[in-house]
Amino acid sequence: MAEAPLDIDSLIVRFLNVGFTGGRLTKHFQVSEQELIKLNNRVRAVFMSQPPLVEIEPPVVICGDIHGQYSDLLRIFDKNGFPPDANYLFLGDYVDRGLQSIETVCLMFCYRIKHPENFFMLRGLLTI
C-alpha cells in the first residue's frame, strides 16, 4: 500500500496554530516520525535541485541565527510578511538553544519546500 503524500500546507497550518502567551508556547505541536522523515526527504530534494550559488531578487529579509527560538521566527514573519510575501535568506544555526528547535526547523523546511524561489537557507556552524 502506498504511503500518503506529505501535505505541506496542512503542516504549515498546524505549526502556525501553536499558541503563544507572554512569549511562551501555550500548546505543543505533535509531528510524527513518518512526517519528519517525509519532510526531510522533500526538503533535501529541494536543496539538491538548486545550484550551490543562486541569485536572489531583492528585496530580501536576511536573518541571522534562530537557534530554535520559534517565537522569534514567528515574530520575524509577522513583522516582515509570511512567505511568499517577503523573500527570506537565513544564515544558518536554526536549532540547538531554544526549546522549540524541531518546530523551528520544520516550519522553515515547509516554507523552503513550498517557496523554493523565495525562501533560502544557508548552512551554519551547527547545521549538518
| Per-residue pLDDT tens digits for 29-73 | 678 899 999 999 999 999 999 998 999 989 999 999 899 899 899
The answer to whether residues 34 and 68 touch, using CB atoms and an 8 Å cutoff, is no
Contacts of 50 (CB under 8 A, 6+ apart): 116
Considering the entire predicted model, what is its pTM?
A: 0.88
> Topology of 8-121 in CATH?
Purple Acid Phosphatase; chain A, domain 2 (3.60.21)
